[in-house]
Structure 1
Amino acid sequence: MTGALDPVSARRRFTAVTFLFWLPVGLYIPSQVLLLGERGMTLATIASLFAVHSFTVAALELPTGGLSDVIGRRPVLAAAGVLNVSALVLLALGNDVWMLALAMVLMGSGRALSSGPAEAWYVDTVQAHSGPDAELRTGLARAGTASAAALALGTLTGGALPWLLGLGPDLGARLTDATSGLVLPLSAPALAGTAVGLVFVAYVLTRLPEPPRPPTALRDVLRGVPVTVLGGLRLGAGDPLVRRVLLTAGAAGAALGTVELLTPGRAAALTGAPASGAVLFAVLACAGFVCTAFGSHAAPLLSRWARSGERAVLAALGVGATGLLLLGLTVLWSGPVALVLAATGYGLIYLGLGAAGPNENDLLHRRVDSAGRATALSVQSLALQLIGALVGLVVGRLPAGPLPWLLGGTVLLAGALLWVRRPRPAAPEPGSPTVTVPAASAR
C-alpha cells in the first residue's frame, strides 16, 4: 500500500471511528430494557429479543468478515452504520414484538458487519507503513479506551434524557400524547443515537482511505462465503492460542449478557420508577465503562508487568470473574455495605474485561494475516455473541436471586482458567509466521 497513513494518523482515525460507532450504543443502553418493559414486554420476552440480536450476529459474522476481506473495510463499515440507524429508529418507535424483533435483526446485522473492519483497517494501515512487526497494542488499547469513553458518555446522556423530559412542564408526557404513544420519554436516547449514527457513516466514507481492490461480482463473493466460513472454523480449531482467545471471548459474552440483562431491572426496583431507574443504571454503566477505559489504557502496562500477553489475560479475566461473583453474592444482602460491595464488583467486571481485550487481540493479530484478519475478528465476535445469547436465555428464566449472577461469573472464571497454562502456538508452515484464513474471493 503506497502512500499509507502514518501510524499516528491511523491510530487517531481508528480511535475516532470507534468512538462514533459506540456512542449510539451507549445512548440507548440505559433505556433499552426499560423501554421494552414500558412497551409491555416481560423479562423473558426481552431476553428472547436479545437472543434474536445475538443469533443474527452469530449467523452473519463469518460471511460479513469475509465480505470485508474481499470488497474492503470502508463500504462494509458504512453499511453497518446505515443498518444501525434503521434499527434505532424501529427500537425507539416500535410497539409490536415483530417490529422490535426486526430492529434486533437489523442491529445484529450491523454489529456483524462492524465487528472487524475498523480494526482490520487499522492493522493493515500500520503494517503497510511500518512492516509486519509494527507495534499494535497501543492503538488497540486507545481504541478500547475510546469505545469505553463513548459508552460512558452515552450512558450518562441516555440515562438523563428521559428524566430531563419529565421535568418542568413534563415534556415527556406532552410528547407521548402528541404522538399517540409512539414516542415515549425512554425513546429519546435511541432517537439521539440515530443522529450520531449518520455522523459515523459520513466519517467512514471520508476519513478511512484504503487501496483500491479489484472489482468483484456479487455472485463471486457469495460463492466464496462457504470458503470463508470453513476457513474461520479451521482457524478456531487448528491453533491452540487462537482457540483460547475465542473461548475467552465467549466467556466475556456470558458475563456481559448477564450484567446487561439483570442490572436495569434491579436499578428500577431500587428507585421505584423506570425513568429514575434509567438514571441510576446510567450512572452505574458510566462507572463501569470508565473502568473499562482505564483497564484498556493500562493493558500494555499490564502485559509488561505480567511479562507476557497470556499472563496479562489471565490476571485481567480473574479480576472480572471476581467482580461478577461478588456482585452475585451481594444480592443476598441489603444496606450500605452491600451497595458498596456491589458497586465494587460491578467496576471490577469492566476493569478486567477492558484490560483483557487489547492483550487478547494483540495475540490474535500475531497469528493471522491481512487476507483473513476481518474474518478472524468475526470469529471472535461470533463466540462472544453466541455464548452470550445462550447464557442470556438461561439467565432470563432463572429465579431472582444470586443464581443468575453466579452463572455468568462461573463462565467468566472458566474463561480465565484457560490461561493458567501458557498455550503453545501451532507450528507455522516454513517461512510463514502467521495463520492464513481463507477469505471469500473470486475464483
Structure 2
Amino acid sequence: MTGPLDIHTARRRYITVCVLFWLPLGLSIAPLILLFTERGMALAAIAGFFAAHSLTASALELPTGGLSDVLGRRAVLAAAGLLNLVALTLVGLGSAPWLLGLGMALMGAGRALSSGPAEAWYVDTVQEHSGLDAELRTGLARGSSATSAALATGTLLGGALPWLLGLGPDLGALVSEATSELVLPLSVPILLGAAVEIAFVAYVLTALRERPRPAATLRDVLRGIPATIVGGLRLGGRDALVRRVFLSAGATGSALAAVELLTPGRAAALTGASESGAVLFAALACAGFVCAGIGSHLAPLTARLANSGERAVMVSLGASASGLLLLGATAAFAGVASLVLATIGYGLIYLGLGAAGPSENDLLHRRVSRSGRATALSVQSLAQQLVGALTGLIIGVLPSGPAPWLLGGSMLLAGTFLWIRRSGPASPTEAATPQPHTASSSPSAVGSGPLQQHADQ
C-alpha cells in the first residue's frame, strides 16, 4: 500500500463490498426453506440446519472479530467469502442431511467472519486519510443502503428465478433431468450466489488496500485474539455511550426476532393459504429492505435535523418502536383500516432501524481504536443475536395475538429511552489509544474509551 485511499474511493469500494457480500445471501432468502423441503427434509431437520447456522455464528462471533484485528481486514473478509462459496455450493447441490447441515454451519462461520471487517476497513482508511475527526456517517449510511438494496434485489431475484425457469419450455425440468436431480430450479439462485462469492473474494483481494501489519506468527495470532476479545467485552463497562450502543443492539435483535417470527404466520392468515402467504412475506421482506435502505440514506439528514448523532438514534429507534407497537395493536383486528395501519407500522420498523444504524456506528467508531474496531462490531452483533434468540424463545410460549408483538416493541422502546440522556464529550484521541499488549507484537486491545450498531439485515 503506497498511501491511504482518498475518501471517495474508499467509500465506493466499501459500498461495492457491501453489495457483493449481501447479494448472494439475498438470493438464498426466498428459495432456501423450499429447497430443503424439495430435498425431502422434515421441518425438524430444517430447524436443525438453522440452529447449526445460528450456533456457529454466535460461537465464532468474538474470536473472528479478534482475528480481523490481529491479521487484517482483507484476509478475514476473503476467508468469509470462501466459506460462503463452499456453503452455498453444498446447500445448492447437497441432498444428504449432513451435507446441508454442514453447509449451513459454514454459512454461519462466514457470517461471523464478515461481521465488522469491511466497516472497520472503511473507517481505518478514512481516518488514515483525514484524521480521527473525519466524517464517517455518510459513508456508513451509503454502505447500509447498499446492503439493503442488495438484499432486496437478491430476494426478488431469488424468488423469481425458479418461477421463470418453469415458463415456456420447462428449463427447470430440463436442468434437473440433465443433472440427475442434482440441480433443481430452487438451486439456481443459490448457485448464482456462489458465483457472486467468487467475484466478492477477487474484489476484496484486489481492491481493499490496507496498511501492512506486523508479521504475525500462529503464536502471535493465538495470543492476540483472546486479549482483543477481553478488551471488547470490557469496552461496554468502561463507557456509558458504548454500553448504550451494545444495549440498543440487543433491543434491535429483540424487535427483529419478533418481526421475523410473527410476520410469515400473519401473512398466511391474511391471504388464507401458506403458499400465497409465502409470496406476501417475500414481498414484505423486500419492502422492509427498501425501507431500511431509505432510512440509512436519510441518516445524515436525520442527524443534522436532530442536531446530534445521539438524538438522531433516539428519534430513529422511537419511530421503529412505534411501528412495532402499531403492529401489535392491530394484531387482534381485521379489516382494511387495520391492514393499512399494520403496513405503515411494518415500514416504520425498518425505516427507523435503517436510520439509527449509521449514527450509532459513527458514535462507536469515534470511541474505539483501530486495533479493536472489528471486535467491537462483533460484540455488538453478538448482543443482537443473543437477545434476539432469547426473545424468540419467549415468543414461542406466548399466546398468539398482540402480546408477542408488544414484547418486541417494548424492548425496542426501552432501547430508545437509553438515548434520552446525552453523554459528555470525549477526546477522540484518548478514546482511540489502544492498551499496550506486551505479550505479542500484534495489535490486540480495544481503546479504553467509549462504540457501533447495525441490525444485521
TM score, norm. by length of structure 2: 0.87
Maintained 8 Å contact 1:145/1:294: yes
Q: Look up the match of 1:282.
A: 282
Q: Distance in 2 between matches of 1:180 and 1:264?
A: 33
Q: Distance in 2 between matches of 1:399 and 1:230?
A: 40
Q: Distance in 1 between matches of 2:436 and 2:52?
A: 28
Q: Look up the match of 1:53.
A: 53
Q: Distance in 1 between matches of 2:194 and 2:30?
A: 16
Aligned length: 441
Larger deviation: 182-191 or 351-360?
Answer: 182-191
Maintained 8 Å contact 1:299/1:359: yes
Letter in 2 for 1:290: V
Q: 1:434 aligns with which of 427, 432, 435?
A: 432
- Unaligned 5+ segments in structure 2 are 443-457
1:329–1:231: structure 2 CA closer, same or farther, 3 Å change rule? same
Larger deviation: 416-425 or 284-293?
Answer: 416-425
Larger deviation: 307-316 or 271-280?
Answer: 271-280
Q: CA RMSD in A?
A: 2.8
Superimposed CA distance per residue, residues 380-421 of structure 1 (whole angstroms, 9 cap, x where no aligned partner):
111112222222333345454333333222222221121122
Maintained 8 Å contact 1:257/1:392: yes
Maintained 8 Å contact 1:328/1:402: yes
Q: Look up the match of 2:84.
A: 84
Superimposed CA distance per residue, residues 153-178 of structure 1 (whole angstroms, 9 cap, x where no aligned partner):
11111122233234335444555566
Larger deviation: 36-45 or 299-308?
Answer: 36-45
Maintained 8 Å contact 1:163/1:275: no
Superimposed CA distance per residue, residues 332-366 of structure 1 (whole angstroms, 9 cap, x where no aligned partner):
23333333222211111110100000000000011
Q: Distance in 2 between matches of 1:230 and 1:258?
A: 31
Superimposed CA distance per residue, residues 19-63 of structure 1 (whole angstroms, 9 cap, x where no aligned partner):
111111221223334444555667676555444333322221222
Letter in 1 for 2:395: V
Q: Distance in 2 between matches of 1:41 and 1:400?
A: 27
Q: Distance in 2 between matches of 1:341 and 1:69?
A: 45
Superimposed CA distance per residue, residues 295-336 of structure 1 (whole angstroms, 9 cap, x where no aligned partner):
111111111111111111111111111112222333323333
Q: Look up the match of 2:304.
A: 304
Maintained 8 Å contact 1:159/1:278: no
Superimposed CA distance per residue, residues 117-153 of structure 1 (whole angstroms, 9 cap, x where no aligned partner):
1111111111111111111111111111111111111
Maintained 8 Å contact 1:51/1:393: no
Q: Look up the match of 2:262.
A: 262
Letter in 1 for 2:116: G
Larger deviation: 180-189 or 320-329?
Answer: 180-189
Maintained 8 Å contact 1:54/1:388: no
Q: Any idea what SS the aligned residue of 1:211 has?
A: coil
Larger deviation: 396-405 or 249-258?
Answer: 396-405
1:119 matched to 2:142? The reply is no
Letter in 2 for 1:130: S
Superimposed CA distance per residue, residues 220-270 of structure 1 (whole angstroms, 9 cap, x where no aligned partner):
201222212211111122111001101111111222233233334544555
Letter in 1 for 2:29: I
1:229 matched to 2:229? The reply is yes
Q: Distance in 1 between matches of 2:269 and 2:40?
A: 17
Larger deviation: 401-410 or 92-101?
Answer: 92-101
- Unaligned 5+ segments in structure 1 are none
Maintained 8 Å contact 2:10/2:125: yes
Q: Any idea what SS the aligned residue of 1:78 has?
A: helix
Q: Look up the match of 1:28.
A: 28
Q: Look up the match of 1:338.
A: 338
TM score, norm. by length of structure 1: 0.90
Maintained 8 Å contact 1:428/1:435: no
User: Counterparts of 1:22-421 in structure 2 under 5 Å?
Assistant: 22-36=22-36, 49-95=49-95, 97-172=97-172, 175=175, 183-268=183-268, 270-271=270-271, 276-396=276-396, 398-421=398-421
1:407–1:53: structure 2 CA closer, same or farther, 3 Å change rule? farther
